[in-house]
Amino acid sequence: MIVVRRISSMKLLNSLSTAELSRYFDVIPGIEPLKLPVAHQNLVTLDCLRLDKAHPFISGNKWYKLKYHLYAAQAADKNTLISFGGAHSNHLHALAYIGKCLGLKCIGVVRGEPGPTLTPTLQDCVDWGMELQWLSRKEFRDIAEVKCMELYAERYSDAWLIPEGGAGEEGVSGVEALFTRLYQDGMLNYDLLACAVGSGTTLAGLVNAKVGRAECLGFSALKGDFDLERRVERQLNKTSHVNAWQICHDYHFGGFAKINSRLTDFISDIYQSHDLLLDPIYTGKMLFGLSEFMHQGRVKPGARILMIHTGGLQGWRGFGDKSPVFQ
């Protein structure tokens, strides 16, 4: 049985300035060996970048994608942060906590219709002071992302708008800065960097970063979203070298947030054997796909791989009896 501490029992930070918050969270994450049998059998070195250990609330890649948005909001003298996400959004969860730390007003525009009770994720957001607004799935589909951003910018002129998932130039820059720093500190001696892909922001940051010889491999969490490549391409630095990259679309397990026993058994086996908890939406599918790549001989013997744990463990709470036990 997988046991995780209940999110709501964690202690909040006191109110901090943006600079203080940056010093608190700009930590060098640890890299740990992941001794999967399939890696050993194929003479591959597999390590894991433990971004999930950065913080219980601002977990994984979330701080790095939000950091430069916060700096930009501060420079523009904006006192409200607005962003978008689903009812189990890791992004809104992290943003609400950051807003609490900084004493900023946060508005979360939630995709979907309100139910009789809030999800655990949204309840945390409300407890941390985030105001929730709702945008039906039909409205979300009917209004292009850019148009939606424009509408909210007009409605809230004193607010800094953050695209869903922390995307945008600021989000890419935060990820790029992290991995460039890791490389400069001598921590990225790898042939392949692997990450999950949702908005494409993390992958774009990796591709833009200075990472030596490494190629970047993303595993899409979305079914049939072959527009991802174009969205990543749009976020790349056009004036300097970018790293080789590709996206694999074969391990979505039926679509975004879709799971089955094959995936959950894999995640459970990884946890029991390696004390590494993956989330079922992003990192679980990514490592499953990466393991298949090694099993199929699509990774050269002797290769060094770094998989990036982008956090998101609080999202397990949206899976009911299929989730780990939170206590």
> If you write DSSP's letter for every residue of 107-149 in order, what string do you get?
EEEEES---SS--HHHHHHHHTTPEEEEE-HHHHHHS-HHHHH
pLDDT at 91: 96
d(CA 110, CA 118): 11
Q: Are residues 147 and 208 in the same domain?
A: no
Instruction: Strand 45-50: give its sheet, edge to edge.
Output: 31-33, 45-50, 304-309, 192-197, 215-220, 245-248
Q: Containing domain of residue 66, as a range? A: 62-166
Residue that finishes a domain, picked among 115, 138, 166: 166
Q: Are residues 226 and 317 in the same domain?
A: yes
Joined together, the tokens standing for residue 214 give 């490494």
CB atoms within 10 A of CB 161: 22
Any domain includes 8: no
d(CA 257, CA 244): 28
Q: Which residues of 146-155 are buried (b: 16+ CB within 10 A; e: fewer)?
A: eebbeebeee
pLDDT at 199: 92
Q: What is the pLDDT along the chain (327 residues), one digit of tens a residue?
A: 333 333 333 334 445 666 776 776 677 789 999 999 999 999 999 999 999 998 888 889 999 999 999 989 988 989 899 999 999 999 999 999 999 988 889 999 999 999 999 999 999 999 999 999 999 888 877 765 677 778 888 889 889 999 999 999 999 999 999 999 999 999 999 999 999 999 999 999 999 999 999 999 999 999 998 899 999 999 998 777 889 999 999 999 999 999 999 999 999 999 999 999 999 999 999 999 999 999 999 999 999 999 999 999 999 998 877 665 533
pLDDT at 12: 46
Residue that finishes a domain, picked among 166, 187, 209: 166
The domain total for the chain is 2
Question: HSE-up of 207 (CA within 13 Å, CB side)?
Answer: 23
pLDDT at 327: 38
Q: Are residues 177 and 320 in the same domain?
A: yes
Q: Are residues 246 and 281 in the same domain?
A: yes
pTM here is 0.90
Q: Are residues 77 and 146 in the same domain?
A: yes
Task: Answer for the pair 315, 62: CB distance below 8 angstroms, yes or no.
Answer: no
150 phi and psi, to 5 degrees? -65, -40
Residue that finishes a domain, picked among 113, 142, 166: 166
Q: Are residues 49 and 188 in the same domain?
A: yes
Beta strands in the chain (DSSP E): 3-4, 31-33, 45-50, 80-85, 105-111, 131-135, 159-162, 192-197, 215-220, 245-248, 304-309, 325-326
CB atoms within 10 A of CB 27: 11
